[in-house]
Amino acid sequence: MKVLVATQKPFAPVAVKGIEEIVKKAGYEFALLEKYAEKAELLEAVKDVNAIIIRSDKIDEEVFEHAPELKIVVRAGAGFDNVDLAAATKHGVVVMNTPGQNSNAVAELVFGMLLYTVRNRFNGKAGTELMGKKLGLLAFGNVPQNVARIAKGLGMEVCAFDGYIPAEVFTQHGVKQVNTPAELFKECDVVSLHIPSTPETRRSINKELLLSMPKGGIVVNTARQDIIDEDGLIEALLERTDLRYVSDLMLEKHDEAVDKLGDRYFATPKKMGAQTAEANINAGLAAANQIVGFFKDGITKFQVNK
Ligand code: 3PG
């Protein structure tokens, strides 16, 4: 049995070591492909493997065609929009994720970026505080539940919208449930996005929602880039010069309009929400254990292409 870790954005070395130990202890062969620049390198590396651990790496039909021995792909992380699930199912490959394992890291980055923003990038000018401000969470899964916990520590008022989560979960976390995304944007000083990228959510964060925000509104995106209607976002920010957009994902556009946003738009140079040693260890080791559990005991608990 051969297990490949294929990550364009590498895990922390301590996590790679932990994965290797789990794989070898199970009696399997371990292979590592990090920072690959060309898809051809991935296609070559998968040709004799039975399992792959990935992050945001794109696994499409071509990858499955080049991996005749492949039985399982584990996305060490939450979002699996980078894996072609239909192609996986067609090729008889089980796909899993590791929900919750990197969520605190992403939640902490929300506040790293928020504090940087409300304190004017630490430029010395008087900024504002988060205490007493109203935070809206769009979705209420693992990451936003951690965001809510931290926000409460900062004295923020927290509300959330999620059409898939039972009402008692909001109550358990002391978070006010709102009925629509529109309500969230209209009511909240800060809206933090946590929806996955699906056909329904793509480009759903639009100009109308942004323009409905209170004065000084801030949108934080640690989810996915394609949930944003970029043209609508840029137009809204140009029309309302009090609004700000901070993101763990760079806008695809780099034109004059984006330049005009100046300090009201900030993005990390690389998606780094889950890029902590702790998150890499949690997600990477969970992925390795899920592979061993799948081969040894047929456990498919976190399968996402059932
Ligand atoms: C996730 O879906 O788990 C996060 O977006 C992290 O993605 P990454 O592993 O590519 O950093």
Give one DSSP letter per residue of 73-128, joined into a string. EEESSS--TTB-HHHHHHTT-EEEE-TTTTHHHHHHHHHHHHHHHHTGGGSSS---
The per-residue pLDDT for 190 is 98
Q: Does residue 104 line the site of ligand 1, with CB under 6 A?
A: no
Q: Does residue 274 line the site of ligand 1, with CB under 6 A?
A: yes
Residue nearest to atom 3 of ligand 1 (CA): 77
Chunk the chain into consecutive blocks of 10 residues (it has 306) and report each block's average pLDDT, rounded to whole numbers. Answer: 98 98 98 98 98 98 98 98 98 98 98 98 97 98 98 98 98 98 98 98 98 98 98 98 98 93 95 98 98 98 96
For a mutational test of ligand 1's pocket, the pick from 8, 11, 56, 272, i.e. the residue with the most ligand atoms closer than 8 A to its C-beta, is: 56
User: Atom of ligand 1 at shortest distance to CA of 97?
Assistant: 3
Q: Does residue 102 line the site of ligand 1, with CB under 6 A?
A: yes
The CA 183 to ligand 1 mean position distance, Å, reads 28
Report the distance separating Cα 85 and Cα 95, nearest Å. 7
Q: Does residue 23 line the site of ligand 1, with CB under 6 A?
A: no
The CA 56 to ligand 1 mean position distance, Å, reads 6
Among 273, 244, 282, 294, which Cα is nearest to 26's?
294
Q: Does residue 77 line the site of ligand 1, with CB under 6 A?
A: yes
Q: Are 1 and 27 in contact (CB under 8 A)?
A: yes
Q: Does residue 78 line the site of ligand 1, with CB under 6 A?
A: yes
The CA 215 to ligand 1 mean position distance, Å, reads 32
| Close Cβ partners of 164 (under 8 Å, ≥ 6 residues apart) | none
For a mutational test of ligand 1's pocket, the pick from 102, 103, 304, i.e. the residue with the most ligand atoms closer than 8 A to its C-beta, is: 102
Continuous H helices in the chain: 13-25, 39-45, 61-65, 85-90, 103-118, 142-153, 167-172, 181-187, 207-211, 230-239, 256-260, 277-297
Report the distance separating Cα 114 and Cα 190, nearest Å. 9
The CA 77 to ligand 1 mean position distance, Å, reads 5
Report the distance separating Cα 42 and Cα 6, nearest Å. 7
The per-residue pLDDT for 282 is 98
CATH class of the structural domain 2-101+276-297: alpha beta
Residues of the chain with CATH 3.40.50.720: 2-101+276-297, 103-267
CB-CB neighbours of 126 under 10 Å: 6
The per-residue pLDDT for 121 is 96
The per-residue pLDDT for 112 is 98
Give residue 124's Cα distance to chain centre: 32
Q: Does residue 282 line the site of ligand 1, with CB under 6 A?
A: no
Residue nearest to atom 9 of ligand 1 (CA): 55
The per-residue pLDDT for 139 is 98
Q: Does residue 56 line the site of ligand 1, with CB under 6 A?
A: yes
Question: What are all long-range contacts of 174-178, with beta carbons under 8 Å and residues at least 24 apart?
Answer: 174/148, 175/137, 175/140, 175/148, 178/136
According to CATH, what is the number of the domain 103-267? 3.40.50.720
Report the distance separating Cα 137 and Cα 208, nearest Å. 18
For a mutational test of ligand 1's pocket, the pick from 80, 98, 271, 281, i.e. the residue with the most ligand atoms closer than 8 A to its C-beta, is: 271
User: Atom of ligand 1 at shortest distance to CA of 55?
Assistant: 9
